[in-house]
Amino acid sequence: MPAKVGAVKINSISSSSIFNIGDVYSMNPESTAKTYAGGGSFNSGDGIHVNLDNSNIYVYDKDNIDQPIS
């Protein structure tokens, strides 16, 4: 169904973002990232206490390509 849209002002869009006005069937951003972090790195909230003592991250990636963009 067609949409009527008024004035739109876009200040900025990051390189991995999608901006759409109107009808759309499928939206697929093309971006990949690989993140290595130790235990407790992405915890969020109030009153979190993490005690890991001696924490190590061992990374072995034999194929080097996880999400190819074509």
pTM: 0.31
pLDDT band at 14 (very low <50, low <70, confident <90, very high): confident
> What average pLDDT does the structure give for the chain?
76
Instruction: Work out the average pLDDT over 6-34.
Output: 78
The DSSP code for 45 is S
Q: Which residues of 16-37 are buried (b: 16+ CB within 10 A; e: fewer)?
A: eeeeeeeeeeeeeeeeeeeeee
